[in-house]
C-alpha cells in the first residue's frame, strides 16, 4: 500500500468490533475508552467505519438510522460521532466517518480517471487499500492513539472488506501498534439464572475465521461476570484471563468510563500497546456522575416531534437536555409527544403537565400543524419554549398566522403556493468558510444544497440569547434548506417578534424570540451538536433554568 510508505506517524491503533447482535454499545465503548486514554494525558482521535452502501447518512430515514450528526465542517455523519465529541470534548470532521458507499465511490472515481492503469479493480487490494487510507487519514497529527470503530456485526457480508483491511493493518504496522477489542453479549437466561458464554464463543470464532484474533474481549451483560465465567471465555476464545472485561449495564451512559476504569480496561490497553503508564484523572467524570445521581429537583420537558417512536432520532437533543439539567442540578424528565396526534381540542391535555416545550428539527410537512399548535400554546401560556431549526421556522409561521393574522402564512417547504411565504427557499447566501456566495438549485427540492456545518451569528444585546452566551458572536452548526424570509422581518418586529441573532451581514436570520415572554427562543441552527456533559450548551442550560422557574411559579399558584 503506497500510503504506508509515506505514513510517518507513530500513532497506535485500537480497532473495536462487535458480535452477536447490533446496538450493544460499540460507540459508547469506543468513546469511553477514548475518554479514559485522554484522561491519562494521551492525544486521542477516533473514527467510525460504517458498512452500509449509502455515501453518508444524510438521506437516510431517521426511523431506520437515527439521528444524522453534523460536524463543524458540514459533514453529515453517524450519530456515534456525537458520542465521540461529547465524551472526548473534541471536534471531529468528515475524515472521522466513512461508509462503504464513500469508499466504493472513491475507488470507482479513481478507476474512471485511469488511476489503476487499466488493471482489474477488486475488493482486495483496491477496496481494502482505500479503507486503510481512510483509517490512516485520522492519524496525521502525531496522535498517540486512534480508536477505530467498525460498524455492524461480525459475520455481516457488507462488513468483510473493513475486517480484512484491519487484519492487513496489523501486518503492515506491526503487532505493537495494533490492538483488537471485540464487544460481545453474555446474556442472562432469567428462567435458569445462568449467564451464557456460547454467543461470545461463536462470535470470536467468526472473527478468528477471517484472521483476526481479539486481544481484549468486552462482554456486555446485565450483571457482573464471575471469575469463573471470565476464565471460561478466556480459555475458549484464546485470550489472556486478564483481557476479559465486563461491560455492565448502567443507569446513566456517562457512568460507562468509570465502570470500564473499575474493570481495568485502560490499564490493559496501556500494557498491550506500551503506552505511558500514567493514572487517569477522572475527577471531572466522578463529579459529573455524582450530579446525575443526586439531583436537587426535576423538570419535565415536552418534546413535540414526529420521530418520537425512535428515541435515537433525537440522540444529541436528548443528551443536551440532560446536560442542561446537570448545569442546574436537576433531573430532566422527557415526555415525547407525537406531533401528528395533537389537535386544537387536546393540545392542553398533552402539554399542561410539562415545564417546558421543545420542538426539534426535521424535514417534510407531516406533523407540522401539531407542532404549530404546541408553539401557540407555549407562546400564549408563557411556557418556556425552545424551537430548533424546523421548530424555529414553525414558530415564525405560528407568529405570522396568529399575531400578524396572515392566516395562510406558511413555509414554502409545506405549501409552495402560499401567499405569505414567511419561510422560503433561499437561492443564494454567503459562505463564511469559503468566502464565496453559495447558490442553490431551486429546481431540485430534494438532495439540493443545504446550509451545513458551522456558521457565525451576531447576537443582539439585552436578548435571552445574549444572556445565555455572554458574547456577541457565536458559531453554530446548521442543517437546512429553508430560511426566515427577511421581507416579513419588519412587520414581525413591530408585532413583538425579536430578531436576536443574524449572520454578520444581516442577511440570514438565525434566532428569534418573543417579547413579553419569560423565555421563548427559536434558533435556525442545531445547538445540541455542540453540547457536552462537561460544558452544557448555554441555550439548553438557560432553557432548563427557565423551566425550573416556571414549575416553581405553577406550584405557588
Co-location of 206 and 128 in the same domain:
yes
Three-state DSSP state, 174: coil
Co-location of 149 and 209 in the same domain:
yes
Nearest CA to 76 out of 97, 61, 50, 62 is that of 97
- Asked if the structure places residue 321 within a domain, the reply is yes
Q: What is the pLDDT of residues 333-386, one digit of tens each?
A: 999 999 999 998 899 999 999 999 999 988 887 889 999 999 999 999 999 999
Co-location of 418 and 330 in the same domain:
yes
**Residuewise pLDDT in 10s, the chain (557 residues):** 456 655 678 999 999 999 988 888 999 999 999 999 999 999 999 999 999 999 888 777 766 667 899 999 999 999 999 999 999 999 999 999 999 999 999 999 999 999 999 899 999 999 999 999 999 999 988 899 999 999 999 999 999 999 999 999 999 999 999 999 999 999 999 888 899 999 999 999 999 999 999 999 999 999 999 999 999 999 999 999 999 999 999 999 999 999 999 999 999 999 999 998 788 999 999 999 999 999 999 999 999 998 777 667 889 999 999 999 999 999 999 999 999 999 988 999 999 999 999 999 888 878 899 999 999 999 999 999 999 999 999 999 999 999 999 999 999 999 999 999 999 987 776 776 677 777 655 444 444 578 889 999 999 999 999 999 999 999 999 999 899 999 999 999 999 999 999 999 999 999 999 999 999 999 999 999 999 999 999 999 999 999 999 999 988 87
Helix (H) or strand (E) run with residue 216 in it: strand 216-221
405 is catalytic: no
318 is catalytic: no
Are 32 and 87 in contact, with CB atoms under 8 Å apart?
A: yes
What local confidence, expressed as pLDDT, does residue 443 receive? 46
What local confidence, expressed as pLDDT, does residue 447 receive? 43
Nearest CA to 526 out of 445, 435, 425, 454 is that of 454
Co-location of 241 and 374 in the same domain:
no
What local confidence, expressed as pLDDT, does residue 445 receive? 44
> How many CB atoms lie under 10 A from the CB of residue 193?
8
Nearest CA to 210 out of 246, 152, 168 is that of 168
Q: What is the pLDDT of residues 445-488, one digit of tens each?
A: 444 578 889 999 999 999 999 999 999 999 999 999 899 999 99
Co-location of 161 and 84 in the same domain:
yes
Co-location of 267 and 323 in the same domain:
no
Are 266 and 272 in contact, with CB atoms under 8 Å apart?
A: no
Kindly report the CATH number assigned to the domain that includes residue 542. 3.40.50.880
Q: Give the total residue count for the chain.
A: 557
Residue 234 to residue 472: CA distance in whole angstroms: 57
Total domains in the fold of the chain: 2
> What are the percentages of helix, strand and coil residues in the chain, rounded to 5?
40, 25, 35
What local confidence, expressed as pLDDT, does residue 122 receive? 96
389 is catalytic: yes
- Asked if the structure places residue 470 within a domain, the reply is no
- Asked if the structure places residue 141 within a domain, the reply is yes
Co-location of 269 and 357 in the same domain:
no
Are 505 and 437 in contact, with CB atoms under 8 Å apart?
A: no
Helix (H) or strand (E) run with residue 276 in it: none
| Active-site position among 143, 149, 510, 528 | 528
Domain hosting 85: range is: 12-288
| Active-site position among 65, 480, 526, 537 | 526
Nearest CA to 428 out of 492, 505, 362 is that of 505
Co-location of 235 and 87 in the same domain:
yes
Kindly report the CATH number assigned to the domain that includes residue 282. 3.40.50.300
- Asked if the structure places residue 526 within a domain, the reply is yes
3-state secondary structure 49-72: EECCCCCCHHHCCHHHHCCCEECC
The cell 443526586 sits on which residue?
Answer: 294
- Asked if the structure places residue 44 within a domain, the reply is yes
* Cis preceding linkage at 125, omega within 30: yes
Residue 103 to residue 161: CA distance in whole angstroms: 10
Please identify, among 238, 254, 288, the residue that sits at the C-terminal boundary of a domain.
288
Alpha-carbon torsion 457, 459, 460, 465, what sign?
A: positive
- Asked if the structure places residue 3 within a domain, the reply is no
Nearest CA to 201 out of 245, 227, 235 is that of 235
| Active-site position among 389, 394, 457, 523 | 389
Co-location of 208 and 301 in the same domain:
no
What local confidence, expressed as pLDDT, does residue 446 receive? 44
- Asked if the structure places residue 104 within a domain, the reply is yes
Co-location of 276 and 308 in the same domain:
no
The cell 467505519 sits on which residue?
Answer: 49
Co-location of 254 and 332 in the same domain:
no
Q: What are phi and psi of 312, to 5 degrees?
A: -60, -20
Please identify, among 272, 288, 304, the residue that sits at the C-terminal boundary of a domain.
288
CA angle 467, 470, 475 (to 5 degrees): 110
What local confidence, expressed as pLDDT, does residue 440 receive? 58
- Give every CB contact of residue 498 below 8 A, 6+ residues apart in sequence: 460, 463, 512, 513, 514, 515
Co-location of 55 and 78 in the same domain:
yes
pTM: 0.92
Please identify, among 271, 288, 305, the residue that sits at the C-terminal boundary of a domain.
288
CA angle 50, 308, 185 (to 5 degrees): 45
What local confidence, expressed as pLDDT, does residue 444 receive? 43
- Asked if the structure places residue 462 within a domain, the reply is no
Q: What is the pLDDT of residues 129-169, one digit of tens each?
A: 999 999 999 998 889 999 999 999 999 999 999 999 999 99
Amino acid at each position: 500500500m503506497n500510503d504506508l510508505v509515506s505514513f510517518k506517524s507513530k500513532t497506535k491503533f485500537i480497532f473495536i468490533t462487535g458480535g452477536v447482535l447490533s446496538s450493544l454499545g460499540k460507540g459508547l465503548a469506543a468513546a469511553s475508552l477514548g475518554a479514559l486514554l485522554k484522561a491519562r494525558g494521551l492525544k486521542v482521535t477516533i473514527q467510525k467505519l460504517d458498512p452500509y452502501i449509502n455515501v453518508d447518512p444524510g438521506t437516510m430515514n431517521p426511523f431506520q438510522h437515527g439521528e444524522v450528526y453534523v460536524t463543524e465542517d458540514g459533514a453529515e455523519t453517524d450519530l456515534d460521532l456525537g458520542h465521540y465529541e461529547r465524551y472526548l470534548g473534541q471536534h471531529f470532521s468528515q475524515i472521522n466517518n466513512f461508509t462503504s458507499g464513500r469508499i466504493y465511490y472513491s475507488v470507482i472515481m479513481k478507476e474512471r480517471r485511469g488511476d489503476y492503469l487499466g488493471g482489474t479493480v477488486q475488493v482486495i487490494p483496491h477496496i481494502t487499500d482505500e479503507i486503510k487510507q481512510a483509517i490512516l487519514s485520522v492519524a496525521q497529527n502525531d496522535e498517540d492513539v486512534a480508536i477505530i470503530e467498525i460498524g455492524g456485526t461480525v459475520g455481516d457480508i457488507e462488513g468483510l472488506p473493513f475486517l480484512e483491511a484491519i487484519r492487513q493493518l496489523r501486518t503492515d504496522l506491526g503487532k505493537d501498534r495494533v490492538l483488537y477489542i471485540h464487544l460481545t453479549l453474555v446474556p442472562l437466561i432469567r428462567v435458569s439464572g445462568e449467564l451464557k458464554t456460547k454467543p461470545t464463543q461463536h462470535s470470536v470464532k467468526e472473527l478468528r475465521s477471517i484472521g483476526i484474533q481479539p486481544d481484549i474481549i468486552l462482554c456486555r451483560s446485565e450483571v457482573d461476570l464471575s471469575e469463573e465465567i471470565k476464565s471460561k471465555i478466556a480459555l475458549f476464545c484464546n485470550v489472556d484471563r486478564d483481557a476479559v472485561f465486563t461491560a455492565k449495564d448502567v443507569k446513566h451512559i456517562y457512568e460507562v468510563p468509570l465502570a470500564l476504569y473499575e474493570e481495568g480496561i485502560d490499564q490493559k490497553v496501556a500494557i498491550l500497546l506500551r503506552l505511558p503508564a500514567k493514572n487517569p484523572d477522572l475527577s471531572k467524570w466522578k463529579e459529573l456522575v455524582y450530579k446525575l445521581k443526586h439531583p436537587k429537583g426535576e423538570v419535565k420537558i415536552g418534546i413535540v416531534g414526529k420521530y418520537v417512536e425512535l428515541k435515537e432520532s433525537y440522540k444529541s437533543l436528548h443528551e443536551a437536555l440532560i446536560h442542561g439539567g446537570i448545569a442546574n442540578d436537576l433531573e430532566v424528565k422527557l415526555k415525547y409527544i407525537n406531533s401528528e396526534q395533537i389537535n386544537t381540542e387536546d393540545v392542553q391535555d398533552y402539554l399542561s403537565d410539562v415545564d417546558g416545550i421543545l420542538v426539534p428539527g426535521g424535514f417534510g410537512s407531516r406533523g407540522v400543524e401539531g407542532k404549530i399548535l404546541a408553539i401557540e400554546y407555549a407562546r400564549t401560556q408563557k411556557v418556556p419554549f425552545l424551537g430548533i431549526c424546523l421548530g424555529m421556522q414553525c414558530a415564525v409561521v405560528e407568529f405570522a398566522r396568529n399575531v400578524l393574522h396572515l392566516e395562510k402564512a406558511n413555509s414554502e417547504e409545506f405549501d409552495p403556493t402560499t401567499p405569505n411565504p414567511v419561510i422560503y427557499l433561499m437561492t443564494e447566501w454567503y459562505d463564511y468558510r469559503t468566502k464565496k456566495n453559495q447558490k442553490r438549485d431551486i429546481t431540485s427540492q430534494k438532495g439540493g444544497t443545504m446550509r451545513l456545518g458551522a456558521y457565525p451569528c451576531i447576537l443582539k444585546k439585552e436578548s435571552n440569547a445574549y444572556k445565555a452566551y455572554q458574547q456577541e458572536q457565536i458559531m453554530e452548526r446548521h442543517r437546512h434548506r429553508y430560511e426566515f424570509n427577511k421581507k416579513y422581518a419588519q412587520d414581525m418586529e413591530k408585532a413583538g417578534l425579536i430578531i436576536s441573532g443574524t449572520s454578520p451581514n444581516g442577511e440570514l436570520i438565525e434566532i428569534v424570540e418573543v417579547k413579553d415572554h419569560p423565555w421563548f427562543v427559536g434558533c435556525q441552527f442545531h445547538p445540541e451538536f455542540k453540547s457536552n456533559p462537561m460544558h452544557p450548551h448555554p441555550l439548553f442550560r438557560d432553557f432548563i433554568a427557565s423551566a425550573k422557574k416556571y414549575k416553581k411559579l405553577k406550584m405557588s399558584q
